[in-house]
Amino acid sequence: MKFIIQKDYLVQSVQDVMKAVSSRTTIPILTGIKIVATEEGVTLTGSDSDISIESFIPNEEEGKEIVDIQKPGSVVLPARFFSEIVKKLPKDIVELDVQSHFLTIIRSGKAEFNLNGLDAEEYPHLPQIEENNMFRLPTDLLKNMIRQTVFAVSTSETRPILTGVNWKVDGKELTCIATDSHRLALRKATIETGNEATYNVVIPGKSLSEFSKILDDSHELVDIVITENQVLFKTKHLLFFSRLLDGNYPDTSRLIPADSKTDVILNVKEFLQSIDRASLLAREGRNNVVKLSTLDEGIVEISSNSPEIGKVIEEVQSQSISGEELKISFSAKYMLDALKALEGTDIKINFTGAMRPFVIRTLEDDSMLQLILPVRTY
């Protein structure tokens, strides 16, 4: 195998597939990146058996030559070294030349590296996915949906199913839900689909986080294919496979209260900043708890008390408060995470009592909701 390639395209591709390469793996060849050169261009693959990423670099794009393939072939190169080498090469053009026994020569300018490669035939095959059931989402929307839900997945392995995000497709609507049993994030969107298939799957939070790092903020459509145990995301030059989590996701619809006893409308920025300030002292305490009380004339009092350190009290003017008087305590971190995920300037919080979960929505948008369970303080 021998080809000459534009360095920046190679660097980008290597960075993308590196997101799937694990340093800890039971299959040694998976610590490498598989490189295949064909008449059409160069394909790089990285995998850790949970996630697999395949990135394609075409020979030319928009009339500009990117790769010159002199001899098709394939090799697997050690990912850690290869990615570092490529980044630091001196010139904009890189030549890759595989000799006998997979010894690979990488040249750029006056620099020349020799890397011992492995036989690409030994590299595990990517899942073959039938693409008959597919739906589409714009890249920027997909990126937002991941950002607005993935932070709420559980980090503990005691209930593995909660470390993923539940994706439900019903007709033309996709609903993403994440919960760690102390809070819940939900986001809905309309999808483009040719068929009215329904799905209910759980995608590992880690896979979605890695995938969203690769996505840019364009309007280009991402194809999404869901099978029994895999999901495939397809962008212009990239395939991203992830395994799905086994098991049934809990029915979260019962958690979301239908009624409310106290409704508060607030400006997101002011509220977020006051919670942030209150958490300065709360953070030191073991539970990071902030207390919210409704006062007269639409004033919300945010306070936090750490007996060893001190306390903070701040009043925030709400736009309106209706319903019963309320005192409630909650985790400052959960509240900050939820507020950062919501888009919009004003939010409405529906409380159903001091010990019941409360719901935060933006006024402008009905497709998003954050739910938090309060903390008992005695």
DSSP 3-state of 59: coil
122, 155, 183 - which closes a domain: 122
Asked if residue 214 is part of any domain, the answer here is: yes
Write the CATH number for 233: 3.10.150.10
Residues 6+ apart with CB under 8 A from 296: none
153 and 245 belong to one structural domain: yes
Best CA proximity match to 126, nearest among 240, 289, 288, 275: 240
226 and 289 belong to one structural domain: no
Note the pLDDT of residue 37.
98
94, 122, 150 - which closes a domain: 122
Backbone phi, psi, residue 143, to 5°: -60, -45
The pTM of the full predicted model, rounded to 2 decimals, is: 0.93
262 and 205 belong to one structural domain: no
Asked if residue 32 is part of any domain, the answer here is: yes
71 and 112 belong to one structural domain: yes
249 and 164 belong to one structural domain: yes
d(CA 156, CA 160): 7
Note the pLDDT of residue 366.
87
Note the pLDDT of residue 335.
97
Q: Are 202 and 166 in contact (CB under 8 A)?
A: yes
Asked if residue 335 is part of any domain, the answer here is: yes
244 and 287 belong to one structural domain: no
Note the pLDDT of residue 284.
65
224 and 285 belong to one structural domain: no
Asked if residue 129 is part of any domain, the answer here is: no
Note the pLDDT of residue 309.
86
User: Which DSSP helix (H) or strand (E) runs through 211?
Assistant: helix 205-214
245 and 263 belong to one structural domain: no
Asked if residue 377 is part of any domain, the answer here is: no
Note the pLDDT of residue 228.
87
Note the pLDDT of residue 189.
96
Q: Are 97 and 107 in contact (CB under 8 A)?
A: yes
Tell me which residue has tokens 């850790």. 48
Asked if residue 361 is part of any domain, the answer here is: yes
Handedness of CA 105, 108, 112, 114 (dihedral sign): negative
d(CA 149, CA 120): 37
88 and 178 belong to one structural domain: no
Q: Are 44 and 130 in contact (CB under 8 A)?
A: no
d(CA 289, CA 305): 8
Residue 158 CB neighbour total at 10 angstroms: 8
227 and 284 belong to one structural domain: no
* Orientation angle between helical segments 139-150 and 332-341, nearest 10 degrees: 170
Per the structure, the count of domains in the chain is 3
144 and 246 belong to one structural domain: yes
d(CA 211, CA 214): 5
Note the pLDDT of residue 201.
97
Best CA proximity match to 183, nearest among 155, 143, 160: 155
User: Which DSSP helix (H) or strand (E) runs through 282?
Assistant: helix 268-282
Backbone phi, psi, residue 139, to 5°: -55, -50
Residues in the chain, pLDDT under 50: none
208, 223, 253 - which closes a domain: 253
Write the CATH number for 362: 3.70.10.10
Which residues partner with 329 through β-bridges? 291
Tell me which residue has tokens 């996630």. 51
DSSP 3-state of 162: helix
Asked if residue 127 is part of any domain, the answer here is: no
226 and 275 belong to one structural domain: no
Asked if residue 87 is part of any domain, the answer here is: yes
Its domain, for residue 51, covers 2-122
Rg (C-alpha) for the chain, rounded Å, is 25
Note the pLDDT of residue 128.
85
